[in-house]
Amino acid sequence: MCLIPPVSMSIAGKVGRIVRGRRVELDLTQSAVSSAVGTSRSYYAAIEAGRANPSVGFVDRLAEVLGLRLDLVAAPITIVLGPNVRDAVHARCSAYVARRLLAAGWIVLREVELVDGRLHGWIDLLAFDPRTGTLLIIEIKTSIEDIGRLERQIGWYARVVLSAVPAEWKPRLIASWVLGLASAEIDHVIAQHGDLIDQTFPIRASSMRDIVSGAIAELHGDGLALIDPRSRRRDWLIATRADGRRTPAPYQDRAGAARVLGI
């Protein structure tokens, strides 16, 4: 998956845009505002144009004059690799899931491109069940390093996915599923973040199997299960150890899976 962050406006530019919009909304002149905050009109004009670099204290004073509440929010940029940067295990897993869903009567698209302004991304699989009107956004993971990042990623997909859905699809229900490689490594990560995983992915393998088969047509949240691309079992969606699975994972980690799969 790939989220390429947009070319960001500078902080000074954002401040300038905000204060100018507020000043115009209040029908105030630049001279009136600059006088109220104790600076020259030319300096205030430079702030609105994004050319000045006011101190935090000055911006706070300016916000008070204009009746603004300014909150500072910092978050890491989410960058997810694009479709041309794939490991072979991921490709094997993605193809495996697509075959399973097609065999169950779903319509499947792979590597679906998303564009939202300057954000650009790819969904691993989009699957649509014409029987129930269910649309699944499926993210394949051969390793999980950051649960919060994964949550933000699938949240973005869910918000913009309808722009990428074929016109003939008429989704009635939409959910996101994360399907991880059945590895001891991923089992361990899931166990470490049990509470967060339970909140983010309340639907697990047994219910997901029923959804795939069309036995149930209601969705009550996003889903999480594991997969083994070598498995020919009917119940191909595998429960995690945290969900009560007693058998050991078939792979230790992604590298181990590559060796076993011969790729």
Sign of CA dihedral 97, 98, 100, 105: positive
Q: Give the helix/strand (H/E) hosting 116.
A: strand 107-116
Distance CA 263, CA 255 (A): 10
Residue 58 pLDDT: 87
Residue 128 pLDDT: 97
Longest dimension (CA), the chain: 76
The pLDDT profile of the chain, 263 residues, written as one tens digit per residue, is: 333 334 345 778 888 888 888 888 788 889 988 888 889 999 999 999 988 888 888 888 888 888 777 666 555 544 444 443 457 999 999 999 999 999 999 999 999 988 877 677 889 999 999 999 999 999 999 999 888 888 888 888 998 999 899 999 999 999 999 999 999 999 999 999 888 888 889 999 999 999 999 887 677 789 999 999 999 999 999 999 999 999 999 999 999 999 999 88
Per-state percent for the chain, helix, strand, coil, to nearest 5: 45, 20, 40
Residue 44 pLDDT: 92
Residue 73 pLDDT: 58
Residue 5 pLDDT: 38
Burial of 242 (0-12, 13-18, 19+ CB in 10 A): middle
Instruction: Name the strands in the sheet holding 173-181, side by side, starting at the edge strand that comes first in the sequence.
Output: 107-116, 119-129, 134-141, 173-181, 223-227
Burial of 169 (0-12, 13-18, 19+ CB in 10 A): middle
User: In terms of pTM, does the model score above 0.75?
Assistant: no
DSSP-assigned states of every residue in 9-63: PPHHHHHHHHHHHHHHHTT--HHHHHHHHTS-HHHHHHHHTT-----HHHHHHHH
Residue 239 pLDDT: 97
Residue 6 pLDDT: 41
- Residues 202, 73, 158, 245, Cα dihedral to 10°: -30
Burial 120-146 (b: 16+ CB within 10 A, else e): ebbbbbbbbbeebebbbbbbbbbbbee
Three-state SS for 213-260 is: HCCCCCCCCCEEEEECCCCCCCCCCECCHHHCCCCCCCECCHHHHHHH
Distance CA 95, CA 32 (A): 64
For the chain, the distance separating the N- and C-terminal CA atoms, rounded to the nearest angstrom, is 21
User: Residue 108 forms beta bridges with which residues?
Assistant: 127
* Residue 158 near residue 116, CB atoms below 8 Å: no
Residue 140 pLDDT: 96
* Residue 186 near residue 259, CB atoms below 8 Å: no
Residue 53 pLDDT: 87
